[in-house]
């Protein structure tokens, strides 16, 4: 009964994510592990012939999610999930698709197709009507009326700017000049248009730049260069995108005839002597499918007979003798005869967005609490309302939803430099350039508060368990990571920061009680360097996770369920992944220009790139990416807003007796003194 170091004690079961639960809780039809692994593969134990909660038991004992019963597709081998559909009714909290499938009621008319037959987005869905303080764009979107004629395409179709005419007194730009904005008050030479540098106050000279012609290559900074200059060892673009390692290792434009001699693989077929590839089904069928007739004769008649069948699964007749192949989900072992299961859950990229359970010859995908499996049976959708995006545009905080653009905060003050949010009550915390304050605004009541005389706050992070604000105080003689409480109107220092370094990013995982921050140094004649740290929320147990002598972190986010940290290195143009207890970063996405900000939602990473657009990339399946515009010129700061991003947690500091601030350590109270001691 010896157990490996770090495993669970005797009488406890180790969940796949390392959590320990009592053994009697295994297969008790309740999810006790965060990753639900205590209820996986229970049918193999034949315990009462039941499945885990929210699952349906097929006739052969396999368990599938309830959502896939009567969805018009057979998920059970024996079709038992579809055989009694005429008698099946959805719950009052569910919507019934035309196919018979049941989905959460909140998924109906949420502008996202969830039924396989698309019936959840029907003609009965209410059309969008803009509020009285909103402007209705030609494309149906609603934007705040204060954004009309602000020289910015906030609608996305320019309809909020199309009726804005300049006054007759305004100066007209010459034929050889470019106008910044509708009032034509700033005129630039035409050579300034699309030159890769923004001369207009709101970057109009770099918007809607036309693509390069067919004989040119478009650099990441939109500069056009001749294709002949690609991969020639010289940085002709100015941003190295023409000498990109990935591009130059795959580009064959200088060898135009190479593809003519390219050797095509024949992994799942038969290679004729002539080099052609044919299907295995065409072998030994008494028909010559190879031009050289090499697919017939030989040992065809003697292969795969009762006395010559060495295979554990399928045997294929070939002119060279029996050939063993495996069923889908299996692979041949080294002996060329025996088939073994493929563990899809170990593949990269991941086949499931969240939880993967390997089965013989296949796999099942599942989701963490707070998510439901989508109809594609591999991705997970968060329960609750739809996602929105909050972003900073100079001295404004705006919110972009599926069909509207609202201004949440606007003031004649310097620009907003950092922000975070309490999802529970939609309260925003933010800092203002050159201001010794942290501001707080209730987006519903518009009530504002602030804490002042706290140094020079820059980066901030919200602990949604205690309600505390952690921030980087950049005041040169008092550099520190400090904590403030709006409830108690009190602040304390937590971690001293070296005079020659600064905090480039700061985030808090309240679920696991961890603070992550990056310290950066950038000397004039050297490349930037950084160290990525993790620490408990009381500043104890500080660990150095990653150290780099060439990089600069401009975004950090985390997956609290998988305990994975993601960070954006702007200097290298790479997004890395690292486990909480690991020191080995893994590149996830490369060749990204001017990375800024990093957030995660539903196992997609969101980040801002060089042209200011927001990019969204999957962390599973094909790791595909898509880019969308938010129609603002300055939005380095952005937040994703959805209640599931901040799971409900108890406040360990409730009714604390500390004279100063209460902080947490492993979900227990600790008292923090003003000098940072605990």
Residue 181 pLDDT class (50, 70, 90 cuts)? low
Judged by phi (left if over 0) then psi (alpha if -120 to 50, else beta), residue 74 lies in beta
Asked if the structure places residue 513 within a domain, the reply is yes
Kindly give, in sequence order, each residue whose CB lies less than 8 Å from that of residue 422, ignoring residues fewer than 6 positions away. 429, 462, 464, 467, 646
Distances (CA, A) of 26 to 1, 150, 399, 547, 566: 19, 61, 44, 40, 32
What are the tokens at 163?
């009726």
Q: Return the pLDDT at 103.
A: 84
Strand pairing category for 142-144 and 404-410? parallel
CA angle, residues 566, 462, 388, in degrees to nearest 5 = 70
More confident residue, 547 or 21: 547
Of 75, 97, 122, the last residue of a domain is 122
pTM assigned to the model: 0.77
Tally of CA atoms within 13 A in the half-sphere of 582 that contains its CB: 12
Q: Which of 94-103, 185-194, 393-402, 595-604 has the highest mean pLDDT?
A: 595-604
Query: Which residues does residue 331 pair with via DSSP β-bridges, in sequence order?
Result: 340
Q: Return the pLDDT at 2.
A: 46
Of 122, 151, 178, the last residue of a domain is 122
Distances (CA, A) of 105 to 64, 86, 403, 457: 20, 20, 20, 43
Kindly give, in sequence order, each residue whose CB lies less than 8 Å from that of residue 490, ignoring residues fewer than 6 positions away. 484, 660, 661
Asked if the structure places residue 139 within a domain, the reply is no
pLDDT tens profile 477-506: 899 999 999 999 999 999 999 999 999 999
pLDDT tens profile 414-455: 889 999 999 999 999 999 998 999 999 999 899 999 999 999
Place of tokens 């013989």: 360
Distances (CA, A) of 488 to 439, 485, 649: 15, 5, 20
> What are the backbone angles phi and psi of residue 316, rounded to the nearest 5°?
-110, 130
Residue 244 pLDDT class (50, 70, 90 cuts)? confident
DSSP 228: G
Average the pLDDT over 495-523 and give the result.
94
Q: Return the pLDDT at 287.
A: 92
What are the tokens at 313?
């699964």
**Distance, CA of 366 to CA of 42 (rounded, Å):** 15
Average the pLDDT over 460-486 and give the result.
95
- SS3 assignment, position 623: coil
**Distance, CA of 143 to CA of 148 (rounded, Å):** 8
- CATH number of residue 623's parent domain: 2.120.10.30
Asked if the structure places residue 273 within a domain, the reply is no
Q: Return the pLDDT at 169.
A: 37
What are the tokens at 537?
């929320």
Place of tokens 């941003």: 239
Asked if the structure places residue 366 within a domain, the reply is no
Of 135, 163, 138, residue with least CA distance to 149: 163
What are the tokens at 250?
């795959």
Q: Return the pLDDT at 251.
A: 41
Q: Return the pLDDT at 632.
A: 57
Q: Is the pLDDT of residue 48 over 80?
A: no
Of 122, 156, 187, the last residue of a domain is 122
Q: Return the pLDDT at 610.
A: 64
What is the domain count for the chain? 2
Q: Is the pLDDT of residue 167 over 50?
A: no
Asked if the structure places residue 365 within a domain, the reply is no
Asked if the structure places residue 62 within a domain, the reply is yes
Asked if the structure places residue 59 within a domain, the reply is yes
For the chain, percent of residues with pLDDT exceeding 70: 86
Q: Is the pLDDT of residue 230 over 70?
A: yes
Q: Is the pLDDT of residue 4 over 80?
A: no
pLDDT tens profile 116-135: 888 888 888 877 788 888 99
Instruction: Give me the chain's average pLDDT, please.
Output: 84
What are the tokens at 401?
């939803």
Q: Is the pLDDT of residue 254 over 50?
A: no
Asked if the structure places residue 137 within a domain, the reply is no
**Distance, CA of 438 to CA of 418 (rounded, Å):** 10
Instruction: State the residue range of the domain holding 556.
Output: 385-672
Q: Return the pLDDT at 535.
A: 97
Q: Is the pLDDT of residue 288 over 50?
A: yes
């Amino acid at each position: 009964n010896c157990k490996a170091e770090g495993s669970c004690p005797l009488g406890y079961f180790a969940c796949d994510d390392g959590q320990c639960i009592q053994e009697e809780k295994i297969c008790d039809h309740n999810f006790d592990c965060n990753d639900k692994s205590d209820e996986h593969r229970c049918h193999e134990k034949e315990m009462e012939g039941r499945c885990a909660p929210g699952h349906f038991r097929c006739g052969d004992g396999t368990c599938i999610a309830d959502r896939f019963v009567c969805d018009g597709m057979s998920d059970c081998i024996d079709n038992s999930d579809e055989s009694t559909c005429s008698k099946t009714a959805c719950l009052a909290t569910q919507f019934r698709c035309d196919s018979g499938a049941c989905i959460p009621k909140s998924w109906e008319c949420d502008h996202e197709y969830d039924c396989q037959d698309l019936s959840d987005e029907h003609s009965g869905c209410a059309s969008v009507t803009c509020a009285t303080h909103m402007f209705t764009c030609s494309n149906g979107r609603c934007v705040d009326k204060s954004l009309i004629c602000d020289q910015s395409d906030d609608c996305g179709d320019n309809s909020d700017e199309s009726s804005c005419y300049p006054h007759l007194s305004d100066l007209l730009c010459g034929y050889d000049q470019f106008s910044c904005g509708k009032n034509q008050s700033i005129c630039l030479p035409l050579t300034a248009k699309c030159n890769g540098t923004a001369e207009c106050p709101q970057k109009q000279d770099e918007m809607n730049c036309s693509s390069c012609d067919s004989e040119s290559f478009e650099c990441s900074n939109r500069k056009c260069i001749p294709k002949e200059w690609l991969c020639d060892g010289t940085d002709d673009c100015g941003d190295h995108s023409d000498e990109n390692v990935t591009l130059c290792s795959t580009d064959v434009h200088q060898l135009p005839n190479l593809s003519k001699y390219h050797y095509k693989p024949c992994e799942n077929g038969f290679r004729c002597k002539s080099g052609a590839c044919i299907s295995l089904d065409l072998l030994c069928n008494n028909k010559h499918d190879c031009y050289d007739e090499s697919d017939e004769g030989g040992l065809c008649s003697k292969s795969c007979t009762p006395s010559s069948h060495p295979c554990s699964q399928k045997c294929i007749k070939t002119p060279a003798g029996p050939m063993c192949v495996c069923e889908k989900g299996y692979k041949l072992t080294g002996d060329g005869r025996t088939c073994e299961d493929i563990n899809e859950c170990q593949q990269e990229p991941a086949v499931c967005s969240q939880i993967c359970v390997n089965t013989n010859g296949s796999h099942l995908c599942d989701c963490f609490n707070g998510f439901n499996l989508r109809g594609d049976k591999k991705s997970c959708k968060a329960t609750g309302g739809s996602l929105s995006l909050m972003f900073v545009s100079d001295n404004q905080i705006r919110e972009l939803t599926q069909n509207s653009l609202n201004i949440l905060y606007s003031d004649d003050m310097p620009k907003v430099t950092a922000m975070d949010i309490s999802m529970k009550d939609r309260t925003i915390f933010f800092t203002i350039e050159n201001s010794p304050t942290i501001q707080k605004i209730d987006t519903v009541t518009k009530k504002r508060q602030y804490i002042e005389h706290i140094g020079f706050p820059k980066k901030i992070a919200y602990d949604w368990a205690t309600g505390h604000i952690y921030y980087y105080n950049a005041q040169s003689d008092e550099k520190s990571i400090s904590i403030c409480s709006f409830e108690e109107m009190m602040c304390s220092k937590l971690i001293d920061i070296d005079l020659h370094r600064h905090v480039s990013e700061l985030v808090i995982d309240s679920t696991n009680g961890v603070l992550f921050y990056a310290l950066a140094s950038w000397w004039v004649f050297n490349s930037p360097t950084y160290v990525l740290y993790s620490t408990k929320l009381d500043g104890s147990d500080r660990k150095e996770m990653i150290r780099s002598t060439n990089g600069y972190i401009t975004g950090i986010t985390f997956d609290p369920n998988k305990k994975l940290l993601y960070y954006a290195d702007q200097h290298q143009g790479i997004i890395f992944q690292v486990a909480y207890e690991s020191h080995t970063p893994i590149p996830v996405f490369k060749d990204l220009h001017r990375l800024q900000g990093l957030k995660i939602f539903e196992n997609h990473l969101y980040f801002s790139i060089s042209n200011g657009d927001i990019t969204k990339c999957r962390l599973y399946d094909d790791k595909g990416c898509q880019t969308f515009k938010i129609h603002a010129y300055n939005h380095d700061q952005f937040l994703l807003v959805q209640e599931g991003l901040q799971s409900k947690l108890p406040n360990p500091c409730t009714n604390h007796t500390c004279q100063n601030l209460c902080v947490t350590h492993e979900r227990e109270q600790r008292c923090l003194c003003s000098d940072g001691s605990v």
